Amino acid sequence: MDKLIEFDEKNKVFHLHNDKISYILSVEEGGYLSHLYFGKKVNGYHGQLRYPRVDRGFSGNLPESLDRTYSLDSLLQEYSGVGNCDYRTPALDLQNADGSFAARLVYQGYEITAGKPKLEGLPASYANADEAQTLALFLKDAISGVEVTLLYTIFKELAIIARSAKVTNAGFESVELKKVASMQLDFIKQNMDVISLPGAHANERHIQREAIGQGRKVFESRRGASSHQMNSFIAVLEHNADEFSGEVYGFDLVYSGNHSFEIEKDQFEQTRVVAGINDYNFSWHLEAGESFQAPEVLLAFSANGLNEMSQNYHELIREHIVRGKFKHKEREILVNNWEATYFEFNEDKLKTIVDDAKDLGIEMFVLDDGWFGHRDDDNTSLGDWTVYERKFPQGIKHFADYVHEQGLKFGLWFEPEMISIDSKLYQKHPEYLMQVPGRKPSPSRNQFILDLTQKAVRENVVAQLSALLDGGFIDYIKWDMNRHISDVYSVSLPKQRQGEVYHRYMLGLYEILETLTTKYPDILWEGCSGGGGRFDTGYAYYMPQSWTSDNTDAIARQTIQYGTSLVYPPSVFTAHVSAVPNHQTGRVTPFETRGAVAMSAVFGYELDLTQLTADEKEAVKEQVKTYKKIRPLVQFGDFIRLKDPAKGDQCAWMFVSRDKNEALVFVFDRLASAQPTLTLTKLAGLDPAKNYQDQKTKAVFSGSELMELGFYDPVKRHDFTADMYHFKAVTD
């Protein structure tokens, strides 16, 4: 493989590059790392971006230096430590044994290796020796002995740099880490905006865009999860950038816990981005000889707008995050019984749904909450993963066997991180519950958190699930988490280490997931946290798909799925057709529209099939038949956003095959009008020189016609409509 990383020994410049991007940094005076450039590929660098020397008032200088023109307070840096006359947001904050807050990180050396190293105990992107190269930069604080290793991986085919940081205490006394960011990126003065993905339960990942002004702005989660409320991603982009033009920088944290993205525009209108684990209630006691590994951030660059950034993330997540046999496997169409029955079911009732699923061509039945303990509502039994005998008197395997006999696969819902007070597990092990000594813990959904920092708790979870999974009758697991963490304390840790609980919880969860997904590779694992409350790239490392939102309303889902696609490919998010009036919004939406939205991801149903009319069952058969034809394109083609539902009355997106021989387009209209405005839909991502045939009308258009001219959308006479267009390339 060609060199992707080069080092100019004379000028102390590192240049990471492929056919798409360049990332350039240098070792500056005093041994500090200076950021020079991240953007479109450059063929060479000749030193013109050395930071200008300017005497700045109130910006201090290096120790024992009389040069007033060189200050860490203004220099564009790669990774800043605390206490060095740099008054901006630092990447590393620590307290030394003498009580001081200081870390002067000076360059010591480097190493370049093929491929990409694993991050111990953490999810991260992966690559073979012929797919990527990694640069390790070694920094050290001479007084404390604290060492920082910065990792930069550049992928051969992608406009993405993977960055992380590892802190090692090579000194003789312990230190307290107060903040360990995964990365820092400094920008010279530019007119830029920031995009974040805020939301709420059943209303996740809306695209929020705002101008970056002077001061400090933080996008974060303090909930012990990546959260519905603020996803673990931001983008910084040119003010005029849009879906198809302008420079965009993406920052995706590969982590499922508390996160923080800090943006600070300084007094010189330079912008600093710092990303990593949230320092809220965080500290890490680092003894001599110990190390702390920060999670990875995926830095993406696009010179052609947001869609190009998204496609890079989609490719990386599909090829370098998702693992196992389902990485390139088409996912089955399923029906989940939750909105059909909630807790009111028994084996006979479920069999009627299975029978209809078989007749309709559905490929999997998933049994949701209520099958274990004595669970007839959401107040009991969490922690006791044994079969509820009243509902399944012959055991869960007996029912699973029936599902398999009908030609369907069988899936099961779990919530293994939770515990109920009435559970047998709590009665036997009250110390497993996470709570602050002397204080009553706070319920949420009347459930509590298992303390996964404890080894015994982790072993109990693995043992209980293994007892069921060893039976070999479960094909799919939906792993849920229906509350966020509170009462943060672990009886397994001394008082000076209680600031480690949030992160140790995540490390414990990752250990469990690694153990189970490795032990049971033939099971399809789906993530869930009340829908999209832990929808992040870190989770995709263990679970190749996740439930996007508990909101199944097709109109609400347009906005949710549109925002989700900014980072995540449709192959990792699931969408289901549900009943009307919708159980979350009360909205009545046409069956065709519900199907079109759900077919834009990993497809399924969330309703009682036995209650459908004859016409609706025929519609399901057609949807299932259609999805099986388009499934490879939806799950593994290039996804392109066309019309943002937050900016008008329409939403549109499309899928294009890698060879550009096939395209699938969905256009959604919301409210009809007595005097409708005529609208056009213009496609993207096609080959302008190829001709494409509409598979419904058989009309033929050139790719350039479809992209430059577009076509008129049908005039609508009722609300909440959807149109699907399927094009295939033809030869003359």
User: What is the distance between the alpha carbons of residues 200 and 212, in angstroms, rounded to a whole number?
Assistant: 23
Q: Give residue 337's region: left, alpha or beta (phi > 0; psi -120 to 50).
A: alpha
Q: Which of 266, 480, 713, 723 is catalytic?
A: 480
Instruction: List phi, psi (to 5°) of 492.
Output: -85, -5
User: What is the distance between the alpha carbons of residues 651 and 560, in angstroms, rounded to a whole number?
Assistant: 11
User: Token match 């965009």: residue?
Assistant: 248
Tokens of 195: 């995009």
Q: What is the largest CA-CA distance in the chain?
A: 86
Instruction: List phi, psi (to 5°) of 552.
Output: -100, 5
User: What is the distance between the alpha carbons of residues 485 and 226, in angstroms, rounded to a whole number?
Assistant: 11
Provide the 8-state DSSP code for 88.
S
* Chain centre distance of CA 484: 17
Residue partners of 620: CB distance under 8 A and separation at least 6: 360, 362, 577, 605, 609, 612
First and final CA of the chain: distance in angstroms?
40
User: What is the distance between the alpha carbons of residues 308 and 486, in angstroms, rounded to a whole number?
Assistant: 39
Q: Which of 86, 252, 536, 550 is catalytic?
A: 550
User: What is the distance between the alpha carbons of residues 409 and 185, in angstroms, rounded to a whole number?
Assistant: 47
Residue partners of 698: CB distance under 8 A and separation at least 6: none
User: What is the distance between the alpha carbons of residues 165 and 292, in angstroms, rounded to a whole number?
Assistant: 9
Give the strand pairing for 92-95 and 106-114: unpaired
* C-alpha dihedral sign at 710, 713, 714, 720: positive
For residue 623, the tally of other CB atoms under 10 A from its CB is: 23
Tokens of 672: 């009809």
Tokens of 196: 């974040």
Type of residue found at 176? E
Give the strand pairing for 524-527 and 13-17: unpaired
Tokens of 368: 């949701």
| CB 93, CB 178: distance < 8 Å | yes
Alpha carbon of 357 to those of 363, 544, 619, 693: distances in Å? 8, 24, 13, 33
User: What is the distance between the alpha carbons of residues 631 and 662, in angstroms, rounded to a whole number?
Assistant: 12
SS3 109: strand
Burial classification of residue 732, based on how many CB atoms lie within 10 Å of its CB (0-12 exposed, 13-18 middle, 19 or more buried): exposed
User: What is the distance between the alpha carbons of residues 172 and 181, in angstroms, rounded to a whole number?
Assistant: 23
Catalytic site includes residue 550: yes
Q: Which residues are catalytic?
A: 480, 550
